[in-house]
């Protein structure tokens, strides 16, 4: 009989992210030694049959079909928002007002204005909050963070990030509908800027500090698509590709790019950071490796080291298997839950907080504004 | 409320493999749509406190400290053996006689003689049985199997496998004791031959058919080590490294090698197969990729393709995430459980069966015999 | 006794590029079957002793210390300019007026204005001319060009190029002086924009057509350096890093970046092009490989092919060794000479012509202008 | 006017190796500062027209059609043997007796007996001699040698080498005839054992010392082929594939394999050496890189470094271009000539000497003997 403290969870949404979160809540106590234990109390979605099937599969105790009811339940400690972007603000604000802890999928809001209201709500309520920028919990990326924080890279000159996909190239793909809400601007808010660049930006500011200003371009390669809900061919409102140049507060220069039209790349999130003393690079297609170049190595033997991040002295890895045996994508969510639960014990929930999520929305706002204006735009710090 | 058929599980052993199996049984129904559902009924190990802690962590309903009791329980349908090699035969034979299904960690027996008795026991009892050669369930390796079975490689000329580790190089490492029973010949039976080469051989025969004969060499680099149980420095009985040349029944040539003294490699299991029309290679350090070379490609554009095995048309992958997002080591065990459970429904449990496990033990026996005799040795087919 | 037509060569400059050119002229007839044979008639540089030593080493028949004398010699057919950027215009214009063929190192001029005068001079004189953008002659890059011209990529969505170095990070490096004129803005014209980005731009326009407009940023990380000639610490006038976003005439988007502050990269020129049907990438650190992704490949076997460009059906490679044996950097210059000489026979000297060099200078001008203005700038097509 | 000492060269054979040698002799003085300068005095082959064409192309002053005449010429200092294996002994012995320096292509003899007579001839004559095992002069391999000699690897546990090709898989390829003498056992002596394994063995003994004993297998996959000279289909006498296990004198274990039936590999010579403290690997398809793993690196940052061997502190590289710009296959021959010429000045010609070539022939003899006997065979040290 487990003597852990129970944390009653109410999940909103059962799509791709609903699955990754459920898996994380269900597995975390088998791999991490924590005071708290999540209880899968309820899952909420509009389709009663489907949400019940999901509950059965994942072991949720009950279901709801109206998120307001879920937020109103006394037996729920934490609302986890895994529904589309255009629902985040309303649910999060209500949950905060109800005194619930709130976890929210990224991007936090449809834009900075929404995100700011969400921040104010959780800060006013004083409830623990976090945004699911899961790539902060890739062990290789955490090791990169440690190396930077230790000063191993020295002065930073360059930051470079890309997120390349190719899944929307076909003209026949509808916008909106099941699994495709990311193509519907009214639901998603933007295209790759909020979906993919947001990940790149969150990691970048975590590793390299704030971004001062940007100049950007966006493009919609396929201008019209059938809309799954209306059945009509409509103008596409999202950006298919988005790229920007940036200047960080620390004086380093950056290039960022995201697209769903890079044939041959499925989810190639790459980042590289060049410092005076050392450089680091990483990519999501081989997420269990960190590339590290150290100028302090003996001259004739300098080279990029491919570090296989599976040792017990690598972040999180002592909780998993043995050296050489890799973990994958889903583990980043488990790590985030582990850190969140440990943070409850410590009284210090780690980031990315809603405030961090706001900062990223400010950058994506500036990117979209610059793409429209053709000018460099400053990033809001409100 | 789940309406699935319950399959009551009794696990023996709670070490590294006890964890991988428990994780697999616990997760399989969240990712695979199956008629059966494993119930974690009991876990058995000698240390009552530790086994109870393990049961709490993984959700086992009860514990036992004597495997005979576990085997005797009426509420157990399946015995899963994850204890050291020298316990396999006795437990498996008793479980079969008790009419239980039996899953057993690899290698099946300490040698072919033990394995043969285990095969006879399960076949006499007519109980479903399987050996945990988990690398057959890496999606990339399964895709390799499909390509071979489709005849895409044509006549096979070469098979090449290695399993390279470096974790026992230190002289200070004891033989035997917690986590180190693989270094104690009385518990493990052999060194890397039974531990690592056995994996290579199982996959090889699955992909490329039977092995006729071998010539081998083995070496024990560190001749004496303290024994954790006796406290004395004793002669090391296991092989630290083992390599052999082989001829397959299909006429192809092979080289195999395993060692725990390959500095820089943690668990580098690699395999390559060269056919007249195409070649395939794979390695465990990047298990989510398959390398494929097709001679039928246009001449000037022929090259090794690095296929990122994360698409929905890749084996098992439609059950996981989306393209580009990789799974890891632990998933191979989940796949094996999924296939086993599906096999119960179909009435056709897939391999590796105990008989397959015996075939591998026959090869490792021949390897050790050849290393001693200095001659080519035929592989028994009994 | 060779019966080839002699082409009498006069080289200006004996630095790094003087060596690559001399090697190319000396070797070309041993590997390519050509009507013409270059004769190393004279080399010119200001230091009489050093230029004589160079002549001895490479087999030049004579030396000059004033390029005007060289240009005035009747026994010279072709002037090859391998001296610093600020000398290109004057020499090239004089050579053209003297009716000599002219080869010129890149960038063609210090800026578009200079380059335009050079173009006018050679076009008025009607003399064969070429710019040493040698990366057009890497076999892998030529194969990329063929694939694009065959329409294998379909509609182009993205072009991406970087040229990353790390050799000027030290603050102690002087600007100007032997081997360091590239750091002196008065000699080089610009920093990485003209040195490295110019290469990226030339290849890009060759592969993907014209660039319409750009938005750019540049940075000088180390603001002051000792000047080798004056001995004083002076303001650094060159750009250490330069990046820009661009739109090509064919509707594709591009990102370009060059820097000498990317720790860990020596001369990492990379390019990637994503089309609707296929993608290509290449990098200079492994110049003998082309990465190719073909969406037409069977779905489950799609992957990036690493094509080892050493077969006889690869561009230029039948002239070299046997499959698997790679060539290197210097060979690109030999290929350029081979193509130039073959062009003389055919009466059609291939690019990059001076006019092509001008087009690149127009882009680098726009980049520098945009970096100063903070706006998108159109690229001149004059 | 060059004041270097002239070394008059007489080359026998104008095939693939005749070209690599001629290129090396012609270029060496442009890149290395040496007291001696080779003079391309004469080239010899049976076909008068073809040899004259070759002489014209490469700048040989004269031709011979009978090697005995060449060996008898007073104006020749050095005989370079680049003709097929079955001609090596006779020419080398005659050249030594005539007091000429002798360079000979590998393998030295058709077998150890021939090689021994060649060794005795050059040693009796006291003439400088060398075998063209060119891979000893790959900069990355030389760096590996330096690291081993410095003790950076510590005790050696494993050596692993392969040479994989795929060019003879077609049944239609004739044995013998132009460019195909390597398939004719009477000309080549053996198949891949003498052609490819010989390279692996030479490097291995240079890096890791002597080999004591071997157990081997060979195979001829295609049993009959048309003979280009007789026009008849004849039994194939060469081995298509050859693999062996070995024990080095230093206690390390080794696996070696060569084949021309490894689909997808053109000339993939790979080697790896695992020591207690560090490991090294290298392959010919990316010959400008050395992989290095150092256990002394900080634990969490240990990884294989990919060292791009193009810096001025890398072996031979200060003589070439600038960091990041790679050289290729042909340069290994230039390095060998440079070392040979420098050795003449120093009075100490470096290896591989004929005696080194004999040692390799002893190993290949043992391999072929073991493949026939099915037993471990000792390697002769005579």
pLDDT reported for residue A288: 98
Nearest CA distance, D81 vs chain B (angstrom): 34
| Percentage of the residues of chain A whose pLDDT score is greater than 90 | 97
- Residue A196 has φ and ψ, to the nearest 5°, of -105, -50
Helix axes C48-58, C16-31, angle to 10 degrees: 20
pLDDT tens for B165-196 read: 999 999 999 998 877 999 999 999 999 999 99
pLDDT tens for D217-234 read: 999 999 999 998 888 999
CB-based contact C245:C214 (threshold 8 Å) = yes
D120 three-state secondary structure:
helix
Closest to B78 (Cα-Cα) out of B144, B29, B5, B141: B5
pLDDT bracket for residue C2 (50, 70, 90) = low
D326 and C CB contact within 8 Å: yes
pLDDT reported for residue D233: 95
CB-based contact C283:C275 (threshold 8 Å) = no
- Residue C268 has φ and ψ, to the nearest 5°, of -85, 80
Query: Which of C167, C326, C327, C332 would you mutate first to test chain D, the one with the most D CBs within 10 A?
Result: C326
Q: Do B302 and C299 touch (CB under 8 A)?
A: no
Which residue is associated with the tokens 């999924």?
Answer: B338
Q: Do A321 and B20 touch (CB under 8 A)?
A: yes
CB-based contact B78:B91 (threshold 8 Å) = no
Weakest-pLDDT range from B8-17, B176-185, B280-289, C120-129:
B176-185
Helix axes B48-58, A16-31, angle to 10 degrees: 170
Burial group, residue A369, by CB count within 10 angstroms (0-12, 13-18, 19+) = middle
Q: What is the mean pLDDT of residues C281-287?
A: 98
Residue C24 has pLDDT above 90, yes or no: yes
Q: What is the mean pLDDT of residues A216-240?
A: 94
CB-based contact A112:A362 (threshold 8 Å) = yes
pLDDT reported for residue C230: 85
Q: Do D330 and C324 touch (CB under 8 A)?
A: no
Nearest CA distance, C374 vs chain D (angstrom): 33
Which contacts (CB < 8 Å, 24+ apart) does range B46-55 have? B50/B14, B51/B14, B54/B14, B54/B18
Residue B1 has pLDDT above 60, yes or no: no
| Least CB–CB distance from D303: residue in A299, A307, A313 | A307
d(Cα A257, Cα A272) in Å, to the nearest integer? 13
Cβ neighbours for A151, distance < 8 A, ≥ 6 positions apart: none
Q: What is the mean pLDDT of residues B235-244?
A: 97
B20 and A CB contact within 8 Å: yes
Interface predicted TM-score (ipTM) of this complex, two decimals = 0.97
Q: What is the mean pLDDT of residues D310-322?
A: 98
Q: Which residue of A has its CA nearest to C256?
A: A255
Q: Which residues of A touch C277 (CB under 8 A)?
A: 263
pLDDT reported for residue D2: 60
pLDDT reported for residue A2: 60
Chains touching chain D, criterion 3+ CB pairs below 8 Å: A, B, C
CB-based contact D61:D11 (threshold 8 Å) = no
A276 and C CB contact within 8 Å: yes
D23 and C CB contact within 8 Å: yes
Q: Which residue of A has its CA nearest to C304?
A: A264
Distinct helix (H) and strand (E) counts, chain D: 11, 17
Average pLDDT over chain D, rounded to an integer: 97
Cβ neighbours for D196, distance < 8 A, ≥ 6 positions apart: D163, D165, D258, D259, D260, D269
pLDDT reported for residue C177: 82
Q: Which residues of C touch A215 (CB under 8 A)?
A: 215, 217, 245, 374
CB-based contact B316:B142 (threshold 8 Å) = yes
**Between residues 157 and 176 of chain A, which touch chain B (CB distance below 8 Å)?**
165, 167
A308 and D CB contact within 8 Å: yes
pLDDT reported for residue B152: 98
| Least CB–CB distance from B255: residue in D158, D257, D376 | D257
Q: Do B245 and D245 touch (CB under 8 A)?
A: yes
Chains touching chain A, criterion 3+ CB pairs below 8 Å: B, C, D
Q: Do B294 and C307 touch (CB under 8 A)?
A: no
- Omega before C91 within 30 of 0, i.e. cis: no
pLDDT reported for residue B266: 98
pLDDT reported for residue B46: 95
Nearest CA distance, D292 vs chain A (angstrom): 8
Which letter does DSSP use for residue D379 in this model?
Answer: P
What is the widest separation between alpha-carbon atoms in chain A?
66
CB-based contact B161:B206 (threshold 8 Å) = no
Per the structure block, which two tokens stand in for D360? 């390799």
pLDDT bracket for residue A125 (50, 70, 90) = very high
Q: Kindly report the pTM of this predicted structure.
A: 0.97
| Least CB–CB distance from C302: residue in B143, B147, B307 | B307
Rg of chain A over CA atoms, in angstroms?
A: 21
| Least CB–CB distance from B322: residue in A16, A327, A331 | A16
- Residue A330 has φ and ψ, to the nearest 5°, of -60, -25
Q: Which residues of A touch D294 (CB under 8 A)?
A: 301
d(Cα D360, Cα D200) in Å, to the nearest integer? 9
- Residue C290 has φ and ψ, to the nearest 5°, of -120, 135
pLDDT bracket for residue C277 (50, 70, 90) = very high
Cβ neighbours for B220, distance < 8 A, ≥ 6 positions apart: B191, B236, B238, B239, B240
Neighbours of D228 (CB within 10 A): 17
Residue A177 has pLDDT above 90, yes or no: no
Query: Which of B300, B308, B311 would you mutate first to test chain C, the one with the most C CBs within 10 A?
Result: B300
Q: Which residue of B has its CA nearest to D222?
A: B157
Q: What is the mean pLDDT of residues A218-245?
A: 95
Q: Do D22 and C30 touch (CB under 8 A)?
A: yes
Cβ neighbours for D231, distance < 8 A, ≥ 6 positions apart: none
Q: What is the mean pLDDT of residues B328-353?
A: 97
pLDDT reported for residue D178: 76
Neighbours of B46 (CB within 10 A): 11
Nearest CA distance, C214 vs chain B (angstrom): 32
d(Cα C39, Cα D168) in Å, to the nearest integer? 42
Query: Which of C330, C333, C334, C338 would you mutate first to test chain D, the one with the most D CBs within 10 A?
Result: C330
pLDDT tens for D66-102 read: 999 999 999 999 999 999 999 999 999 999 999 999 9
Closest to A191 (Cα-Cα) out of A242, A227, A231: A242
Query: Which of A303, A309, A310, A326 would you mutate first to test chain D, the one with the most D CBs within 10 A?
Result: A303
pLDDT reported for residue B207: 98
| Percentage of the residues of chain C whose pLDDT score is greater than 90 | 97
CB-based contact D45:D54 (threshold 8 Å) = yes
Q: Do A301 and D313 touch (CB under 8 A)?
A: no
d(Cα C36, Cα A336) in Å, to the nearest integer? 69
Q: Which residues of D touch B163 (CB under 8 A)?
A: none
C304 and A CB contact within 8 Å: yes
pLDDT reported for residue C321: 97
d(Cα D18, Cα D102) in Å, to the nearest integer? 15
pLDDT reported for residue D161: 98
pLDDT tens for A137-174 read: 999 999 999 999 999 999 999 999 999 999 999 999 99
d(Cα B264, Cα D304) in Å, to the nearest integer? 7
Rg of chain C over CA atoms, in angstroms?
A: 21
CB-based contact C306:C295 (threshold 8 Å) = no
Per-residue CA distances from A201 to A157, A361, A365, C377 (Å): 17, 9, 12, 26
pLDDT tens for D142-165 read: 999 999 999 999 999 999 999 999
Average pLDDT over chain C, rounded to an integer: 97
Nearest CA distance, B305 vs chain C (angstrom): 4
pLDDT reported for residue B343: 98
């Amino acid at each position: 009989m487990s003597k852990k403290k129970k944390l009653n969870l109410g999940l909103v949404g059962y799509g791709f992210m609903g699955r990754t979160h459920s898996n994380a809540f269900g597995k975390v106590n088998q791999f991490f030694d924590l005071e708290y234990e999540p209880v899968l109390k309820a899952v909420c979605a509009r389709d009663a049959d489907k949400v019940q099937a999901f509950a059965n599969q994942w072991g949720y105790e009950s279901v709801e079909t109206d998120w307001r009811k879920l937020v109103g339940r006394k037996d729920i400690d934490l609302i986890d928002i895994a529904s589309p972007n255009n629902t985040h603000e309303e649910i999060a604000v209500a949950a905060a007002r109800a005194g619930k802890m709130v976890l929210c999928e990224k991007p936090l809001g449809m834009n900075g204005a929404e995100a700011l209201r969400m921040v104010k709500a959780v800060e006013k309520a004083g409830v623990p909050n976090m945004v699911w920028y899961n790539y902060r919990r890739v062990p290789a990326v955490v090791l990169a963070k440690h190396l930077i924080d230790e000063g191993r890279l020295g002065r930073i000159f360059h930051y470079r990030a890309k997120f390349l996909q190719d899944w929307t190239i076909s003209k026949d793909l509808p916008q909106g509908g099941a699994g495709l809400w990311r193509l519907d601007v009214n639901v998603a808010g933007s295209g790759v800027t909020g979906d993919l660049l947001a990940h790149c930006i969150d990691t970048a500011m975590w590793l390299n500090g704030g971004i001062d200003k940007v100049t950007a371009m966006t493009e919609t390669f396929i201008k019209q698509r059938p809309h799954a809900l209306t059945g009509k061919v409509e103008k596409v409102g999202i950006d298919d590709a988005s790229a920007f140049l940036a200047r960080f507060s620390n004086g380093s220069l950056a290039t960022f790019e995201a697209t769903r039209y890079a044939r041959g790349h499925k989810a190639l999130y790459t980042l590289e950071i060049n410092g005076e003393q050392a450089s680091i690079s990483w990519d999501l297609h081989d997420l269990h490796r960190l590339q590290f170049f150290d100028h302090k190595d003996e001259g004739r033997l300098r080279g990029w080291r491919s570090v296989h991040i599976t040792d017990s002295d690598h972040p999180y890895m002592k909780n998993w298997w043995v050296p050489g045996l890799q973990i994958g994508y889903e583990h980043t969510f488990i790590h985030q839950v582990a850190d969140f639960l440990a943070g409850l014990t410590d009284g210090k929930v780690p980031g990315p907080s809603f405030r961090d999520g706001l900062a990223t929305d400010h950058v994506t706002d500036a990117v979209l504004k610059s793409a429209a204006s053709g000018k460099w735009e400053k990033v809001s710090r409100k």
